[in-house]
Structure 1
Amino acid sequence: MADVLVILKVYPDSDEVNLDNLTQQINSKLPQGYKLVRKETEPIAYGLKALVVYIQMPENTEGGTESLEDIVNGIEGVSHAEVVQVTRLGF
Structure 2
Amino acid sequence: MGEVLATIKVMPESPEVDLEKMKADIQASIPEGTEFHKIDEEPIAFGLVALKVMVIVGDEEGGTEAAEASLAKINGVNSVEVTDIGRLM
Asked if TM exceeds 0.5, the reply is yes
Task: Give, in angstroms, the shift of residue 54 of structure 1.
Answer: 0.7
Per the alignment, residue 77 of structure 1 pairs with 76
Contact 1:27–1:35 (Cα < 8 Å) also in 2: no
1 CA distance for matches of 2:38 and 2:66?
Answer: 19
Q: Secondary structure at the match of 2:24?
A: helix
1 CA distance for matches of 2:73 and 2:83?
Answer: 18
Identity level (%): 39
Please identify runs of 4+ aligned residues in structure 1 that moved more than 6 A.
none
TM-score, normalised relative to structure 2? 0.88
Count of residues in correspondence between the two structures: 89
1:15 maps onto 2:15 in alignment: yes
> Any gaps of 5 or more consecutive residues in structure 2?
none
2 CA distance for matches of 1:33 and 1:75?
Answer: 19
1 CA distance for matches of 2:69 and 2:32?
Answer: 16
Task: Give, in angstroms, the shift of residue 18 of structure 1.
Answer: 1.6
TM-score, normalised relative to structure 1? 0.86
